[in-house]
Amino acid sequence: MQKKKYAVIGHPIGHTMSPFIHKRLFELAGINADYTVYDVPPEELKAKFDSELSALNGFNITIPHKQAIIPFLNELDPKAKLYGSVNTFFNDNGVYRGYTTDPDGFLMALQNEGISFKGRTVILGCGGVARTMAYEAVLAGNELTLAVRADDINMAHALKAELEKLGNANVTVCLISELEGEIDVLINATPVGMFPHSELCPVNDSVILQSKSVFDAIYNPLETVLIQKAKANGSKAVGGMAMLVWQAVVAQTKWNNVSFNKDDIDKLCIDCIEELRNK
């Protein structure tokens, strides 16, 4: 069987976990495939697409090409249309399809930890990763609170206005210091607690005690202080490495219609942290 060819594109691409993750997934699925890295400056995207990228079986897309790739596609997945962003390209026998797998990767990370994405959802932060999760919370019909620092209050209100265009959105904005009440799903979309400042936590213990489940978008360390405290309280909790790996799993399902064992994915998340430490 002819070896399939995949890649990740971006600029500057730097160190990316994509080759490590996808090579392992190809092995688990028994697929004979190569996965390479392309550093593609924006002004070279069209020429590179025409000469090489369009001939690949598929590729992943990171900054700054997630919007720029769209004009080269024949079809967009509904989620990609909603977000105006594509992170996965699939060459389906000459039909170029675009997907965004981040939202489903996030939802699958929750699902595989038995976390129900229902009820009052609190997102700490309002940047790019928070936007994805906020959209998914509104689409799920959840009551949503955007909790931010004072410096980000205007940005949070802008995101609130954007979400309200979806219709039937129940969104409030507050300062992190003002958070109170029971929380069904607490999501940290800030960098607080990320290596090398792993000793930090974005909220105080009283907020964690009120949270039934926790998702931390940080993936290094594998378990932040927030995750550790949530688990110590008996809450279900999962970190960002699960989302990173599961969004790659979703890409694999688009490319080759494959499925994976939860235990294998859990092991891959742990191995990814070891890979990060060795870089």
Share of the chain above pLDDT 90, in %: 93
Highest CATH level, class, for 115-239: alpha beta
Which tens digits make up the pLDDT trace of 13-22? Answer: 988 999 999 9
Instruction: Report the C-alpha gap between 29 and 252 in whole angstroms.
Output: 9
Question: Which of 157 and 273 is assigned the larger pLDDT?
Answer: 157
Instruction: Report the C-alpha gap between 127 and 194 in whole angstroms.
Output: 16
Instruction: Report the C-alpha gap between 121 and 134 in whole angstroms.
Output: 9
Band (pLDDT 50/70/90 cuts) for residue 49 is: very high
Q: Strand, helix or coil at 173?
A: strand
Residue 171 confidence (pLDDT): 98
Q: What angle do CA 121, 125, 128 make, to 5 degrees?
A: 100
Which tens digits make up the pLDDT trace of 88-122? Answer: 999 999 999 999 999 999 999 999 999 999 999 99
Q: Is 231 one of the catalytic residues?
A: no
Could you tell me if residue 211 is left (phi over 0), alpha (psi between -120 and 50 degrees) or otherwise beta?
Answer: beta
Identical fold for domains 4-103+242-277 and 115-239, yes or no, is yes
CA 49 to chain CA mean position, Å: 25
Which tens digits make up the pLDDT trace of 181-203? Answer: 999 999 999 999 999 999 999 99
**Domain layout of the chain by residue ranges:** 4-103+242-277, 115-239
Catalytic residue among 66, 79, 229, 254: 66
Mean pLDDT across the chain, nearest whole number?
Answer: 96
Q: Which residues contact 123 (CB under 8 A, 6 or more apart)?
A: 130, 133, 134, 137, 144, 145, 146, 147, 187, 189
From the number of C-beta atoms within 10 Å of its C-beta (0-12, 13-18, 19+), residue 250 rates as buried
Q: Which helix (H) or strand (E) is 48 found in, with range? A: helix 45-51
Structure tokens at 265: 């994915």
Residue 60 pLDDT more than 90?
yes
pLDDT mean over 164-190: 96
Give the N- to C-terminal CA distance of the chain in Å, as an integer: 34
Residue 1 pLDDT more than 70?
no
CATH of domain 4-103+242-277: 3.40.50.10860
